[in-house]
């Protein structure tokens, strides 16, 4: 089974980029071999930090041809879905705790022609996916509590990655399994071995500035 999986994708989180030069940073990670661009949207309410809105996503769109992997940590989430879709998001991921009707929110994302993801916080069980797995394109396992870059990987999330990998295989659907938080050259191979096929990495991608990005990304792939 492992051998049939596609190579791991790297989705650098621009939360760790230089916010004064975001366009250049996005171009630099694309040139350095990133697969997706991970955009962390925080509202200071669902999570204790404030970051990026749809206007910034729209401003970044012309700077990259890569899929924009938009991670919404906002509540209520529903009334911002259209704005992020119009701004150029390709994948829109929500937390089930961020609204009363996750199934409806997923349907709405799909109706806009976008890929829909569900993100599970460290304390949220894999079981939360039982009645969503038939409709989603991506599961995002949080391996830190959302809100900030640079936190340590919570190791018990490896069990959840394994459990979700089994659920995905059982579903027979084409669903990406992404892991977010504390990914570095030590935890990346652990997450991949547990079944992840997309790694978000903020600190580990942007460390050392633009000249280091290609090496940083290559190392996360285990190359
Ligand atoms: C945390 C964000 C992550 C974060 C990852 O709330 O969802 O995407 O930026 O940062 P690192 O890779 O530094 O742990
Ligand atoms: Zn994220």
Q: How many CA atoms lie within 13 A of 16 on its CB side?
A: 25
- Pocket around ligand 1: residues whose beta carbon is below 6 Å from it? 13, 15-16, 38, 40, 71, 144, 146-147, 149-151, 180-183, 200-204
Secondary structure element (H or E) that encloses residue 115, with its range: strand 115-120
Residues in the chain: 223
Catalytic amino acids?
A: 40, 180
Q: What percent of the chain has pLDDT over 70?
A: 97
CATH of the domain at 89: 3.20.20.70
Cα 124 from Cα 141, distance rounded (Å): 9
User: For 128-150, how does the pLDDT look when each residue is reduced to its tens digit (9 = 90+)?
Assistant: 999 999 999 999 999 999 999 99
Please count the structural domains in the chain. 1
186 burial type by CB count under 10 A (0-12 exposed, 13-18 middle, 19+ buried):
exposed
Other residues' Cβ atoms within 10 Å of the Cβ of residue 100 = 10
User: Which residue has its alpha carbon closest to ligand 1 atom 6?
Assistant: 146
Q: What is the pLDDT of residue 7?
A: 86
Residue 189, pLDDT > 70, answer: yes
pTM of the entire structure? 0.97
For residue 82, what pLDDT band results from cuts at 50, 70 and 90? very high
Q: What is the pLDDT of residue 4?
A: 55
User: For 191-214, how does the pLDDT look when each residue is reduced to its tens digit (9 = 90+)?
Assistant: 999 999 999 999 999 999 999 999
Secondary structure element (H or E) that encloses residue 42, with its range: strand 37-42
142, 181 Cβ separation under 8 angstroms: yes
Residue 46, pLDDT > 50, answer: yes
Question: What are the Cα distances from residue 10, in Å, to 48, 195, 213?
Answer: 26, 14, 12
For residue 6, what pLDDT band results from cuts at 50, 70 and 90? low
What's the mean pLDDT when you consider all of the chain? Answer: 97
Domain around 83: 2-220
Ligand 2 centroid–CA 39 distance in Å is 7
């990998």: which residue's tokens? 165
């Amino acid at each position: 089974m492992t051998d049939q999986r596609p190579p791991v994708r790297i989705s650098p989180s621009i939360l760790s980029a230089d916010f004064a030069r975001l366009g250049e940073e996005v171009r630099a990670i694309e040139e350095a071999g990133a697969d997706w661009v991970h955009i962390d949207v925080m509202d200071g309410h669902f999570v204790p930090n404030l970051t990026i809105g749809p206007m910034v996503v729209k401003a970044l769109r012309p700077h990259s041809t890569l899929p924009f992997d938009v991670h919404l940590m906002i509540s209520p989430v529903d009334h911002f879905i259209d704005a992020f879709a119009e701004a150029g998001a390709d994948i829109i991921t929500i937390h089930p705790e961020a609204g009363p009707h996750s199934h409806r929110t997923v349907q709405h994302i799909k109706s806009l022609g976008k890929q829909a993801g569900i993100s599970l916080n460290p304390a949220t069980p894999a079981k939360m996916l039982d009645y969503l797995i038939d409709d989603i394109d991506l599961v995002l396992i949080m391996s830190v509590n959302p809100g900030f870059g640079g936190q340590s990987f919570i190791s018990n999330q490896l069990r959840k990655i394994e459990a979700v990998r089994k659920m995905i295989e059982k579903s027979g659907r084409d669903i990406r399994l992404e892991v977010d938080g504390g990914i570095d050259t030590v935890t990346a191979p652990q997450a991949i071995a547990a079944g992840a096929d997309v790694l978000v990495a903020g600190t580990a991608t942007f460390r050392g500035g633009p000249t280091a990005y290609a090496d940083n990304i290559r190392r996360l792939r285990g190359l």
